[in-house]
Amino acid sequence: MVIRRRSFRSRWRLGTMAVLASASPAPGPRALPPIVSSIAPRVLSLVVVLAAWELYGRANAIFLSYPSAIAAAFVARLVPDIIPAFGHTGEAFALGFAMLLPLGIAIGMAMGRSRTIDTILGPYVNAFYVTPRVTLIPLLVLWLGIAFQMQVAIVVLAGIFPVIVTVYAGARIVDRDLVEVGQTFVASRAQIFRTIILPGTIPYIFTGARLGLARALGGVISAEMTVSITGVGRLLISKAQFLKMDELFAPLIVLGLASIALTSTLLWMQRRLTPWATGLRSR
């Protein structure tokens, strides 16, 4: 009897395990890799937008072109129009941005660390920061003409004040306790600036650079659309005047891609130089 009971119990346990195994859910499909799951929605949305644009643009080709025509116009006008225009605008922008960035950082840092300099320069910086840069174009034309120097000047004036204001804010909020710790260890002003103030301000420097980049690029395009005879701005105006929508959209798309590339480069540099900054790894 004991042997029969044990065999019955063992068969019952095996049967129960088989039922539980058959009732367990089947393994689901494998999850997509993170890079695929993050890129796939963007690619899908881009395909949908381009398809809708192609269909709608063909029905309204006079005022809205479509992607296939824009691609053909890009290939046809790349050498005669787009490359020379972007070369001229890019030269003015690069020179102006190379001038405004160190100057804006220096002024913003000085204002943030010195109350005297802040009191002297603060009202002028705030006034120019809120002044539309387009209103300065007539004055710059009177002073510099419509030559290359005017475009460089508008780049500097358009982009320097966001850099100053952002760096100023970063220099003002550096942790005072860290500065006092450095002073406790008898660190010189140069050492405190190099090891405490500057590292704490670097994220604000890159933020100001991105804001200044957008303002400077918009400023030089506006100047070219208003008074210049060359450049991307003049190219856009000339194509719009003759309703060449496909040739108008081609440089617009190139300009947008160039802006994204420049901004992404600054973000990449910020991640590399400020790994302690929050909110950057998720972008």
pLDDT of 158 > 70? The answer is yes
Average pLDDT of the segment spanning 154-175: 90
The pLDDT mean for the chain works out to: 83
Question: What pLDDT digit, counting tens, does each position of 133-144 carry?
Answer: 888 888 888 898
pLDDT of 203 > 50? The answer is yes
Q: Are 159 and 133 in contact (CB under 8 A)?
A: no
State the CATH architecture for 78-273. Answer: Orthogonal Bundle (1.10)
Helix then strand then coil, % of the chain, to nearest 5:
85, 0, 15
Q: What pLDDT sits at residue 274? A: 82
Question: Cα separation of 201 and 165, whole Å?
Answer: 12
Question: Cα separation of 81 and 251, whole Å?
Answer: 9
Average pLDDT of the segment spanning 142-149: 87
DSSP 25: P
Q: What pLDDT sits at residue 234? A: 92
Q: What pLDDT sits at residue 279? A: 54
- Report if pTM > 0.85: no
Four-point Cα dihedral 109, 113, 114, 119, nearest 10:
70
Q: Are 211 and 170 in contact (CB under 8 A)?
A: no
Q: What pLDDT sits at residue 71? A: 92
> Which residue's entry shows tokens 């993050």?
38
pLDDT of 36 > 70? The answer is no
- Length of the chain equals 283
Q: What pLDDT sits at residue 2? A: 44
Average pLDDT of the segment spanning 29-36: 62
Q: Are 103 and 209 in contact (CB under 8 A)?
A: no
Q: Are 152 and 216 in contact (CB under 8 A)?
A: no
Higher pLDDT, 5 or 192: 192
Q: What pLDDT sits at residue 218? A: 92
Of the candidates 203, 199, 116, 121, which has an alpha carbon nearest to the alpha carbon of residue 160? 121
Average pLDDT of the segment spanning 35-62: 81
pLDDT range class, residue 228, cuts 50, 70, 90: confident
Q: What pLDDT sits at residue 162? A: 95
> Which residue's entry shows tokens 């004991």?
2
Question: Cα separation of 96 and 231, whole Å?
Answer: 15
Higher pLDDT, 8 or 87: 87
pLDDT of 6 > 90? The answer is no
Q: What pLDDT sits at residue 282? A: 47
The full set of domain ranges for the chain reads: 78-273
